[in-house]
Amino acid sequence: MSYDTNNIFAKILRKEIPCNPVVETPHTLAFNDIAPQAPTHILIIPKDAYVTYGDFINNASPEEILDFNQTIATLIEQNGLNEAGYRIISNAGEHGGQEVPHFHVHLLGGRHLGNLLQE
Stretch that binds ligand 5GP, among 21-29, 33-41, 68-76, 80-88 (CB under 6 A): 33-41
Q: C-alpha angle with apex 28: 23 to 34, nearest 5 degrees?
A: 60
Contact flag: residue 8 with ligand 5GP (CB under 6 A): yes
Choose, by CB under 6 A, the member of 10, 19, 38, 45 that binds ligand 5GP. Answer: 19
Contact flag: residue 23 with ligand 5GP (CB under 6 A): no
Calpha distance 100→109 (Å, rounded) = 21
Choose, by CB under 6 A, the member of 3, 7, 25, 33 that binds ligand 5GP. Answer: 33
Contact flag: residue 34 with ligand 5GP (CB under 6 A): yes
